Structure 1
Amino acid sequence: MYLHRSNSHSSFLHSMDPKINHAYKLVLNDRLRWFLFSTTDESYRLYSTGNSGIDELKEKVTQDEVYYGCLREKWQGKPRQILIAYIPSSLPGATRAQALDRARELCQQFKIHHGFIKAEETNELSSQALTSILRMGGCQECGQILRSMSEQSESHKPLPQPPLIRRTMTLSESMAPPLPPKDGDPLKNPNDPLFPRYAQSSSISAAQSRDKNAFVDDPREHVASRGYSRTNTESLTGEEMAEQEARRQHRLKQEKVASMQEYVLAEERRKAMLAQTLLEVANKRREREHEEAEAEKRHQIEVEAKRKADRERWIEKSEEAERWRLEQVKKAEAIAQGKEQDRKSRVEARQTKVRDILATSRAQGKDFLHSCWISVQKSDSVTWRRRYLVLDWNGLRLYRSGNDMTQPLETVFHQKLRGVKEWDEGYEELRSVTHSFAIEFLGEEAWRMYTESEADKVSTYTPLDNLRLRGWRRISW
Structure 2
Amino acid sequence: MSVDLSNEDIQPAYDSIIRGSQNNWLLLKYATRDKLYLCGLGVGGVIELRNNLDPEDVFFGFVREDDTKGRRSHYALVTFVPEVVSGVRRARALVHSRAVGSLFKAHEATVQFSSISQVTSENVRRKLNLENLPHDTSGTNVAEQAISKRYTEDTLPTPTSAERATPISPISPTGRPPIQQSQQRAESPPQQMAPSRMQTPPPKSPRRGSSDRPSSATVPDAPPPTPPKPTSPRLKTRPGLPPITTQPTPIAPQLQNHPEVRAPARRVTSESQAPRFPTERMMSPNVVVTPRSISSSANLRSPPPEPTDDDPGVQRRRREFLRSFTRQVELENLKAEEEAAQIARIERERRQKEELMAEQLKKEQEEAERKQRRAEKARREQERREAEERERIEMEKMKAEERQRRLLAARRAEERRTIVRRKSEIAQLQEQERRALKLEAQRAFMTQIKKQFIPSPGTTGVILDGYVTMQVYESGVWKRRYFELTPASIRFYKSETDRGGPLSEVLMKDVGSLKEWNEGYEELETIAHSFALCFKDDRRPWLFFADTAANKVSR
Q: What is the TM-score of this pair, normalised by structure 2?
A: 0.33
Select the structure that is richer in helix: 1
Q: What is the TM-score of this pair, normalised by structure 1?
A: 0.37
Q: Which is higher, the Rg of structure 1 or of structure 2?
A: 2
